[in-house]
Amino acid sequence: MERDLAGLLFPGSVAVVGASGTPGKVGHALFRNVAASFNGPVYAVNPKYKELLGRPCVASVEGLPEPVDLAVVVIPAEQVAGVLKSCGERGIRNVVVISAGFKEAGEEGARRERELVRIAREYDMNLLGPNVLGLISTRVGLNATFAPRGAFPGEIAFMSQSGAFCTSVLDWAWHERLGFSHFVSLGNKAVLTEVEFLSAFGADPQTRVIVAYLEGVSDGEAFIRVASQVTREKPVVVLKAGRAEAGARAVSSHTGTLAGSDRAYQAAFEKCGIIRARNVEELFDYAYALAKQPLPRGRGVGIVTNAGGAGVMATDAVEWEGLEVARFTEDTARRLAECMPKAANIYNPVDILGDARADRYKKAVELVAGDPNVDMVVALSAPVAILTYAELAEILAQARRRFEKPFVCSFMAGELGEEAEGLLRGAGIPSFFDPARAVRTLRVLCDYLEIRRRPRPEPRPLEVDRESVRRLVREAISSARPRLGLEAMEILSAYGIPTARGGLARSPEEAARLAQGLGERVVLKIASPEIPHKSDAGGVLVGVDQRAVEERAAMLLRQIRRKFPGARLEGVYVQEMLPPGREVIVGVLRDPTFGPLVMFGLGGIHVEVLRDVAFSVAPLSRDEAQALVHRIRGFPILKGVRGEPGVDVPGLVEVVERLGRLAADFREIVELDVNPLLCYPDRVVAVDLRLTISGEEG
């Protein structure tokens, strides 16, 4: 998995197979870029020429004077396999296949791609592509793309599953003077995927931020493992597109209907500390701020403005983003009062008024930025005739250097601010028209601070009875009964999850016997794999008198038989009657990319309406289980509102943690619902269970 990509990312010599002298051809654009950018030896491979753009050209890979570090292949799809093999024979270990006509182009293409994978494995090659724009490595000055624009050197490593997006980003970033350490088009990801590049960029000292556009992740578990490591070192910002792919699989549980692949991505990103961007604007706002700004020490924001409205907008945004309007020290307040006019607001947000000249702005910014309670600074300004944006940019650039705190800026201006924004960019200060957008980038710096600070998720060992569950799972598989209900409650107790007392009765007489010792009143439930929603079918009798159990059980069986003549009935499940409590749902779902997920939410009959659920990738550490429980909107209800007692949250967290263990231990469990788990102030109890088991593991 962790491959050495040095030869691919920092090659000492490059050959372009399919280099062309005909303008307008991809092979020409690519070779021209390589020849113009790269300092080391460059060779063209094409039988038609002896020389191309002043570089040696050979007829075939065999004819190359040295086994180059990197071969870039841009020839018709059907010839690529042959060339790849020649590269392997020649000892070339890194190959970028630009050519299209593979998996993206139907069955024949998919076959061709499998052939490339086979050859790459045979020769242990780093194969990037096929179907890519290419790659750029600014440290060795290499532009091996056919894009019309190259890249400036910078701190951002970028990878994208869309080649077209790559060209757009290159051109835009050129205009913005935004630089890259590496720029990689991932294409079909036949061999090298986002995982190998994450790992390589993580280890690259030139890279401060990793940015990715992804439409899917190839190996979810490897991705989580590697990304969890990398995000401790440097921020990773991902735009994951293709949310609509959800719902492709058949689901039969609540957990299943409430999931969908985007929830899985959300949970996975959460687990490994990836910062998610919702759109292109966020992707680069965040990337730029994280690349150029120091991390704050806390969430306190100091605001300086010469316009009241801008200050109000920024203050709203601070609250909305969950940051804090910093409270100045007495010293700061006193000194501000000394040097500001009487009408100025010397409390945060500091409004130095529209008649402020550069010197007043400078004093305010320095006092605010120097306050120990201010962790980040937002500088705002509307256009005024007595203060130029260029002066302002200079003040901010200086203050930013002096105070080592994050600065963002909103020149609420158009043309008047343009030139000064260039100066700010040079100082690494993000600047936006909208103050809210400026504040949002500060929030992302705080998000990353939290990610860095949070403890490594280490699931703790739990005492569980694995053998009993293994036996039950095997039985279900061998008897071809994938769906189980209450008769499988033992699975929960084996993993230390408290369950209501009770048991499965095969006959009304047995039900009466089982009911003894369960209290005055009991609950009877029809047990049938074909009736998943028991109460909908009239299959749940609550508060049945101990003495009437036999009769009521017989009646229940009769009624259900009449309603569902074909259904297989296991019998009647007799359960202790519990007092009313808060109903929550905990569940498990196996995601095709990331494996087992645990779901938690407010339960009972309204779960699908409220959709107040959250997901986490199993197994879970105690902290992760706790975070999952806290993440739902309705958490305050569980904590207790308006004098109502709260529920046993630690008990709840432990059930979530144990269910995560179960999900991770038994990949055969593809879906599981505990709905409801009844919650009381001092305990939690499972009263219903439904699960699906699959013979094929994970």
Q: Is 117 in the site for ligand ADP (CB under 6 A)?
A: no
Say how many residues make up the chain: 698
CB 11 within 8 Å of CB 39:
no
Query: Which residue type occupies 272?
Result: C
Backbone angles phi, psi at 443, to 5 degrees: -60, -35
Minimum distance from residue 615 beta carbon to Mg ion (Å) = 19
- DSSP per residue, 572-628: EEEEEPPPP-EEEEEEEEEETTTEEEEEEEE-GGGHHHH--EEEEESS--HHHHHHH
Task: Mark 546-585 with x for binding to ligand ADP (rule: CB under 6 A) and - for no binding.
Answer: -----------------------------xxxx----x--
Q: Which of residues 498-517 bind ligand ADP (CB under 6 A)?
A: 500
CB 600 within 8 Å of CB 577:
no
Q: Is 691 in the site for ligand ADP (CB under 6 A)?
A: no
Q: Is 196 in the site for Mg ion (CB under 5 A)?
A: no
Q: CB count, 10 Å around CB of 617?
A: 26
Q: Where are the beta strands (DSSP E) in 382-517?
A: 407-411, 483-484, 502-505
Binders of Mg ion: how many residues, by CB under 5 A? 2
Q: Is 677 in the site for ligand ADP (CB under 6 A)?
A: no
Longest dimension (CA), the chain: 100
Minimum distance from residue 584 beta carbon to ligand ADP (Å) = 11
Residue 102 or 573 having the CB closest to ligand ADP:
573
Closest CA relative to residue 409, chosen from 510, 302, 491: 302
In sequence order, which ranges of 177-277 are alpha helices (DSSP H)? 194-203, 220-233, 254-258, 261-272
d(CA 203, CA 276): 21
Q: Is 204 in the site for Mg ion (CB under 5 A)?
A: no
Minimum distance from residue 675 beta carbon to Mg ion (Å) = 4
| Interface residue with Mg ion, options 514, 595, 688, 689 (CB under 5 A) | 688
Give the contacts of 74 (CB within 8 A, at least 6 positions apart).
16, 17, 18, 19, 26, 27, 30, 98, 99, 146
| Interface residue with ligand ADP, options 535, 558, 592, 681 (CB under 6 A) | 535
Pairing of strands 540-545, 521-527: antiparallel
Minimum distance from residue 77 beta carbon to Mg ion (Å) = 54
Residue 167 or 675 having the CB closest to Mg ion:
675
Binders of ligand ADP: how many residues, by CB under 6 A? 18
Q: Is 254 in the site for ligand ADP (CB under 6 A)?
A: no
Q: Is 671 in the site for Mg ion (CB under 5 A)?
A: no
Q: Which two tokens stand for residue 557?
A: 């069986």
Q: CB count, 10 Å around CB of 386?
A: 11
Residue 255 or 675 having the CB closest to Mg ion:
675
Task: Mark 631-670 with x for binding to Mg ion (rule: CB under 5 A) and - for no binding.
Answer: ----------------------------------------
d(CA 610, CA 634): 10
| Interface residue with Mg ion, options 675, 678, 684, 689 (CB under 5 A) | 675
Q: Is 37 helix (H, G, I), strand (E, B) or coil?
A: helix
**Which region among 154-162, 185-193, 425-433, 535-543 touches ligand ADP (by CB under 6 A)?**
535-543
Residue 301 or 678 having the CB closest to Mg ion:
678
Q: Is 523 in the site for ligand ADP (CB under 6 A)?
A: yes
Residue nearest to Mg ion (CB): 688
Residue 248 or 609 having the CB closest to Mg ion:
609
Measure the CA dihedral 280/285/290/293, to 10°: 170
Q: Which residues bind Mg ion (CB under 5 A)?
A: 675, 688
Contact positions vs ligand ADP (CB under 6 A): 500, 523, 525, 533-535, 540, 542, 575-578, 583, 604, 675-676, 687-688
